[in-house]
Structure 1
Amino acid sequence: MISCEFEYCKPDSLPALMQILTMYPEATLLAGGHALLPAMKSREIRPERLVDLAAIPELRGIRRGSDAIQIGAMVTTAEVEHSSLLKEALPLLPDAAKVISDPLIRNRATIGGSLAQAEPSGDWPAIALAVGAIIHLTGVNGERAVPIDDFFQIETTPAGNGLAVGRRTVVARSEVITHVSIPLVQGEVRRSYLKRMHPASGFALIGVAVALRLDQDRRCDWCRIAITGAASAAFRALKAERCLVGTAISGEIIREASMLAGEENVEFIGDPFGSSAYRRQMLPVYLRRALSTAIESALV
């Protein structure tokens, strides 16, 4: 039961949404609602105005351009899972969508909402990092495109005897994610997503998304590795990437790169389902498996 009163708006176009945000910049946006509605029920969030994005056609659709895939912010995980276009052009996305939570959540959770929420154990932030996505935003002050590497911001603030690590993105008040574009990388690109899933929530206790390109000699000349579930926001395993790029892929190189991932300069998180030490120890294990899977050209 949601006990607080609020004004409900459901604009039917992007210009109509911008009019609302111009008048009420503090309005709360509703996408799939799988994170927002429980927070409202528990009274963690008490919005004065709730703006439902479900009827805005500009936020829908999956399209292929000459050099990129475009996915609307209100596209659901289930739509990604069943998209024939994505199965052909970027199979990592539908294959990864299959292991995100359960069918009920996949039918509601949206790409834009998941990225804006930036849940530490969410799947889409790591996947977006691995494929080098670009996040397109529209607000009352205009439009902008943000590379995924600049989208998530890890913020630490003092709390007691230690550090309380918070999370946020660069999405400003009175801004909305309209779509995500994913560049189509030329060449032989191998991709995979592997995670240790919490059996109840479906969140990643540790998740690894990998994209790498091999030349004719099986040397890696391009690589992106992203981690979720380990820190307050998804991050790239840059040390592991540098270890792989320019080398011929072998079991030894994969093991070396995987061990380096556990040495990334991030604050590993812990919760009742897994300590920070556990996550740091499991990261090399899952990265090694994800890299091996990518090389095999198959997703688990």
Structure 2
Amino acid sequence: MDLRNDIRELGGLAPAFALLRRGWSYSALSYAARHGWVRRIRQGWYALPGVDELLAAAWRVGGLLGCVSAARTFGMWTPPDDRLHVTAPPRHARMRTAGDMRVRLSEEPDPRIRIHWRPCAPFDRFRATPVECIVDLAKCFRSEWVLGSLDSALALGLIRRRELLILLRRLPRHARWIVEAADAASGSFPESVLRGLLIRARISVRIQEWIDDMRVDFLIGDRLVIEVDGREFHGDHLGFEHDRARDAKLSALGYRVLRFSYAQVVYRPDEVLTAIRAAIARNDHS
């Protein structure tokens, strides 16, 4: 018998009772955990020794990795948030801290842990499904941020178009507009956020438009180009020079260019919308 192979066949995480049915004893499980052959994640649960610590932490707390934490493991664009999000059934007892299965969360509350109390469909032993992630994201973050996560989920094939109707029924009413707005062609998280801001402001815009040999992030009207830095930290010299060369070429072709940083779009949206509205009021778009 191979204990690690049995755990692997059970999805990488196995309850003690399932391993007992396969012929293992409690003493054998304890011996294997003490010697590092397997990991005891919490009382009565065993995982493979190389399990990702983030996944282990969620299960140690007492639920599935969910919301922004799980979305990030799927490669989805996510809002800026460093908390551990765990989805657990209502009235679930024996919640533990992320770092120690012996300490009850009720005894040592941790603001770095966000519990979503609801039934949740699992993607695997450790994580909620991408659809479940979007549902919880919509309860935690601004809708424009959630649109970024949904855009990337569509682009990665994690959520299919046919699932959008299901998602529409499950989203909070204030966030349902993102289903119709979702677009897999979006180029980055802040681009999705800005597109959402423009949609809600009723400003018509086209995305990923070609001008000469350049593809621009947004085009408003005939002449107003909006460019967004795709990363939170966008300061490398080559990237800076490339962006300015593009801006100069677009200006020479008769276009007005507004360029915004990640921080402006994500954290200071009113500042961005004010600048865009002012450009439209000056007829920079026509």
Which TM-score tier does this pair reach, normalised by the shorter chain?
under 0.3
The answer to which structure has the higher helix fraction is: 2
The structure with the larger Rg is 2
TM-score scaled to structure 1, two decimals? Answer: 0.26
Which protein is richer in strand relative to its size? 1
